[in-house]
Structure 1
Amino acid sequence: MEEMRQVLGMSIERKNENGLSNSLKERVWEVSKKIWKIAFPTIIAEVSQFGTPVLKLSFRFSFCVLLMASFFTIQKYLQGQLKNSIIGWLSTGSFLIHVLLSWVFANKLHWGIPGAMSAIVIGSWLVVFGEFVYIFGGWCPKTWRGFTWAAFSDLFPIIRLSISSGLMLCLELWYNAIVILLAGYTKNAAVAISAVSICLNIIAWEFMLCLGFLISSSVRISNELGKGDAEAANFAAKVIACTSICIRVFFCALYQIFGDKIGHSFTNDDKVVEYTAELWFLLSLSIAFSVYKINISGVAIGAGRQKLVAYVNIFCFYLVGIPIGLLLGYVLHLKINGIWMGMQLGVILQSLVLGYITWTTDWSE
């Protein structure tokens, strides 16, 4: 009789373990689906809009600010309601129209660069107008009921949060731009700048992909906290962290395999290709940690910690990374490799600090 009880107890225990295991798998799967449901359309949108920053080369800066502000504000508004499919479809459509107009303006009408820039402008504004039509047309009945003075209530906290978010992202973008600036003071500067530009171009494309996860992370965390479900927010943050690790392992392996061949995709200059091949390890390291830090930054945004992340960026990037990069590059004569190594130390430190903050956060508060 006692043996039967032991057997039944063991079977019940195994059943409970399997039930917990299945429950964990189901929870991870559900959270992952929600993350990708936001991330994938956003990735399409960001990649299709990748050319918009070059508008400032030939159009007024205020025009660019208006375009980017309109695009990101409306996109965030729709993503907060999980209206992600419309973003993906509009971005895909605008990208196809952009390609068609670029071919017509540049090749058929021979308008050159002004024609190509005009195609970018038209394609970019089509997304904004399409999202406006979607909102004003009644497809967001729970959140849009027309213009009211209530839109101006509690405006100061929103402006303060927006400034913190902008500062946080600008500090990261300027950090990469400084690499180009410092490369101009090394020996054989033309080749060094070309090689670093190729690497930063690759990082920029990867950033467009990961920006989808940043927005997805922020929306997912803010929605869970908005519902008052701290445990779900904590679990989502851990799933996001694990997802970012898988993504960075994939990209890191990809660049480890094809790193020495990347330069041929951008130039036929053998010196630039050779210099780029020397930087492939640092490039793969940059890719690995940039994926992680972008996802963790998204979690911080969702928790309303933009100001804290901005302070972390200032300390890690500008008080640690750049001074060490200058020391390695110019004092120890490691040139661009030393500059980039120092700046990567700043990125690694930032990833560790944000990871620690995220992992030790009391989400119930």
Structure 2
Amino acid sequence: MEAGDLEADPIAGGAAGGGGGRKGSVSVKDEAVVKSAGDAWSMFLMESKKLWAIAVPIGFNVLCLYGLNSSTQIFVGHLGNLELSAVAIGLSVISNLSFGFLLGMGSALETLCGQAFGAGQVAMLGVYMQRSWIILLASALLMCPLYLFATPILKLLGQDDNIAKAAGSFTVQIIPQMFALAINFPSQKFLQAQSKVSFLAWIGGAGLLFHVFLLWLFIYAYNISMWGVALAQVVYVMGWCKEGWTGFSWDAFKDIWAFVRLSFASAVMLCLEVWYMMVLVVLAGHLKNAEIAVGSISICMNINGWEGMIFIGINAAISVRVSNELGADRPRATMYAVIVVISTSLAIGLFSMVGILALRDYFPVIFTSDKNLQRAVSNIAGLLGVTMVLNSIQPVISGVAIGGGWQGMVAYINLGCYYVFGLPLGFLFGYVFHWGVEGIWAGMLCGTALQTLILLVIVWRTNWKEEAAQASERVRLWGGQEESEKLQT
């Protein structure tokens, strides 16, 4: 991480959110240089406190959001294997396509709002959020045909006809949920950038409880629950965030293209990650005994998703920490935040793997009563454990990339590691070597391992002084100020 580039500073930094910045805020000195084991431990404790103060509420909110998916699959799984496979395909393939794209588009707001907040430009955050709403709602509208024609798309991908038909019927009925996400993500990123995250946890918990209650009444409760969560966040933003939210503004439509470009780069980066493991479910549908293959992979992906949602919370937290500190011109504080989050995440991933291996014969019972399906899940639990370790590092580094504004570069890395290397290797292991689900999964894990290694090297070699120096210029470019200045001259 080029620690030697960071000159000694006798005064330690202050606020958890990054404190001051260049414009519109009081300058806050960078963190002190770590010179001993005692200094390192003090730094670790201080940074962990800052990180978890953001990560716990966000992580809980994301877990509850994911719980809407997972609880739906749990209820449906006890109706029958066909119903489980259909809903799993609908949520894991079709809904995940839109989820990944909208989350990626919304993640551009993390970079822009986080660095603007660190630089003291709080008043612009509401305008940036409105721009993101416009972009995401337009994107959701463009993705509606994916839901409407899910059945022929799934058949074209080689899914079983009965599964494809049932999944297509389900996806049409959850189209409103996609538009709820288009409102949800920008308001969530708006609050995250300011570390106003406690209310997100309350909203997420209430939304999950409400959803589980609705599932007792009817299985298609998805839309109501998602819109409830989205609207609750909007009400909180407009009612209690007076500094960042100053009302609707036509400025949201001005100079929007720079933000569209950043949003698209963010979407490509995250979509290539989210869709990668989704492809595993699709490929499993081509194997013999498709119901068992798809069902076992879906259950494992569901469990992996629970851990993944925790790391999306940490991803968001480190994105906030990196963007705030870079915006406030605190490169050493940024570097310390990255070191602490990577080491902490790796420890969590190893603990998760041990838990999965210890409970491999027990957790499948939660999702299905079918003994054959339970046995199939238990057989591939080892790969699930390895996946959980890799997925403890990968999303965290993606959060660093979002905070630093590296989305375009990471998108190319994801494309090469996942789709040029990992996916063909999985196909080779699964179909040519006849290793089945285990082979497909093992090959794709090789792609994830390569991507993680490359990103770790990039983070290690990053000069945080240069990144902090570029933060102010990036806010001007992505916020549209540069385009406005060109037009005025």
TM-score (norm 1): 0.86
Q: How does 1:143-292 map to 2 (within 5 A)?
A: 143-292=244-393
Q: Deviations over 1:49-84 (max 9, x none)?
A: 222685863556763332112111001000101101
- List structure 1 runs of 4+ shifted beyond 6 angstroms: none
The aligned counterpart of 1:96 is: 209
Letter in 1 for 2:315: L
Offset at residue 143 of structure 1 (A): 1.8
Structure 1 pair 154–361 and aligned structure 2 pair: CA distance change class (3 A): farther
Offset at residue 154 of structure 1 (A): 4.1
Structure whose alpha-carbon radius of gyration is higher: 1
Letter in 1 for 2:182: A
Q: Deviations over 1:330-360 (max 9, x none)?
A: 2222122111110000010111011111111
The aligned counterpart of 1:127 is: 229
Q: How does 1:294-313 map to 2 (within 5 A)?
A: 294-313=395-414
1:44 to 60, 65, 73: 60
Contact 2:318 2:400 in 1 (8 A): yes
The aligned counterpart of 1:78 is: 191
Letter in 1 for 2:219: I
Letter in 2 for 1:124: M
Structure 1 pair 154–29 and aligned structure 2 pair: CA distance change class (3 A): farther
The aligned counterpart of 2:40 is: 24
Counterpart CA distance in 1 for 2:211 and 2:289 is 38
Structure 1 pair 251–93 and aligned structure 2 pair: CA distance change class (3 A): same
Q: Deviations over 1:127-179 (max 9, x none)?
A: 32222222222x22322222334434442222212112222222122211211
Structure 1: gaps (5+ residues): 1-17, 107-111
The aligned counterpart of 2:29 is: none
- Kindly indicate whether structure 1 or structure 2 has the higher relative contact order, using CA contacts under 8 Å at least 6 residues apart: 2
Name the SS for the 1:186 alignment partner: coil
Name the SS for the 1:49 alignment partner: helix
Q: Deviations over 1:105-145 (max 9, x none)?
A: x1xxxxx334xx2xx333322332222222222x2232222
Name the SS for the 1:259 alignment partner: coil
Q: Deviations over 1:236-277 (max 9, x none)?
A: 111111111111111011112112333222223222222222
The aligned counterpart of 2:446 is: 345
Structure 1 pair 270–292 and aligned structure 2 pair: CA distance change class (3 A): same
Contact 2:177 2:226 in 1 (8 A): no
Structure 1 pair 364–262 and aligned structure 2 pair: CA distance change class (3 A): same
Name the SS for the 1:124 alignment partner: helix
TM-score (norm 2): 0.65
The aligned counterpart of 1:66 is: 179
Contact 2:176 2:223 in 1 (8 A): no
| Count of residue pairs the alignment pairs up | 336
The aligned counterpart of 1:6 is: none
Letter in 1 for 2:383: L
Counterpart CA distance in 2 for 1:313 and 1:227 is 29
Name the SS for the 2:340 alignment partner: helix
Structure 2: gaps (5+ residues): 1-33, 70-89, 96-146, 148-169, 467-489
2:429 to 328, 331, 350: 328
Counterpart CA distance in 2 for 1:62 and 1:264 is 31
The aligned counterpart of 1:10 is: none
Letter in 2 for 1:225: L
The aligned counterpart of 1:136 is: 238
Contact 2:177 2:223 in 1 (8 A): no
Counterpart CA distance in 1 for 2:254 and 2:332 is 31
27-36 vs 69-78, greater mean Cα deviation: 27-36
Counterpart CA distance in 2 for 1:211 and 1:242 is 16
Offset at residue 19 of structure 1 (A): 8.4
Contact 2:55 2:314 in 1 (8 A): yes
Structure 1 pair 305–278 and aligned structure 2 pair: CA distance change class (3 A): same
The aligned counterpart of 1:14 is: none
Name the SS for the 1:224 alignment partner: helix
Contact 2:342 2:396 in 1 (8 A): yes
Name the SS for the 1:113 alignment partner: coil
Percent of paired sites with the same residue: 37
The aligned counterpart of 2:17 is: none
49-58 vs 351-360, greater mean Cα deviation: 49-58
1:113 to 219, 222, 234: 219
Counterpart CA distance in 1 for 2:248 and 2:369 is 56
Letter in 2 for 1:92: G
Offset at residue 23 of structure 1 (A): 3.1
Counterpart CA distance in 1 for 2:451 and 2:196 is 32
Counterpart CA distance in 2 for 1:266 and 1:193 is 13
Letter in 1 for 2:203: L
Name the SS for the 2:434 alignment partner: coil
Structure 1 pair 94–190 and aligned structure 2 pair: CA distance change class (3 A): closer
184-193 vs 64-73, greater mean Cα deviation: 184-193
